[in-house]
Amino acid sequence: MKFPLGQIKKNTDSNPFTFDEHVDVSELESMNNDIREVGSVHVHGTAVDQGDDIIFTFNIDGRMIMPCARTLVDVPYPFNINTVEIFSESPYEDDDSDDEIHPIDGEVLDLTPLIKENILLEVPFRVFSNDENATNQAPFEGDGWEFKSEDKIERKPDPRLKKLESLLDDKKE
């Protein structure tokens, strides 16, 4: 999602520059996080030129698929993020300020990395499935692991403790 600076500055004299697009962020699936699936997201908002700063106010709306924390089944997680990003042309911008102000390099502003960053910040710590049959749909084995319930586990005594077992038998007699 790239915008030429000239287009933003030309249109913001009388009205804010508006945009409404769908952005593919499926690259987030391959990162090391819990997102199993995320396609394109809907991004819409405005940009305003204020002196050396260009202020983007926009909304990111989409849906990601994440694993359930209990059963590992797919859980759809909708998100709606409102954010403000500030770009500055000023060479005197204070690097020590707490504000997240992005320097402008070149003639094109790219919002895609900021969109991905905001989505990653929105990923919840864990999600749970509301489906009553989620345990039936849950996987019971995977790559290098298998679920075993206590019913199926054989209880064999440790061979190193076999002699101690004979001591217990003697006391019963």
Domain spans in the chain, listed from the N-terminal domain onward: 2-146
CB 47 within 8 A of CB 55: yes
pLDDT digits (tens, 9 = 90+) for 63-76: 998 888 877 788 88
Position 92 confidence tier, pLDDT thresholds 50, 70, 90: low
- Nearby residues of 129 by Cβ (< 8 Å), 6 or more positions away: 68, 70, 71, 73, 75
Q: Which range, 13-17, 83-87, 104-108, 156-160, has the best average confidence (pLDDT)?
A: 83-87
Task: For residues 112 and 30, give the distance between their C-alpha atoms in angstroms, rounded to a whole number.
Answer: 16
pLDDT value for 19: 87
Phi, psi of 159 (to 5 degrees): -60, -25
> Identity (one letter) of the amino acid at 127?
V
Mean pLDDT of the chain: 79
Residue 135, pLDDT above cutoff 70: no
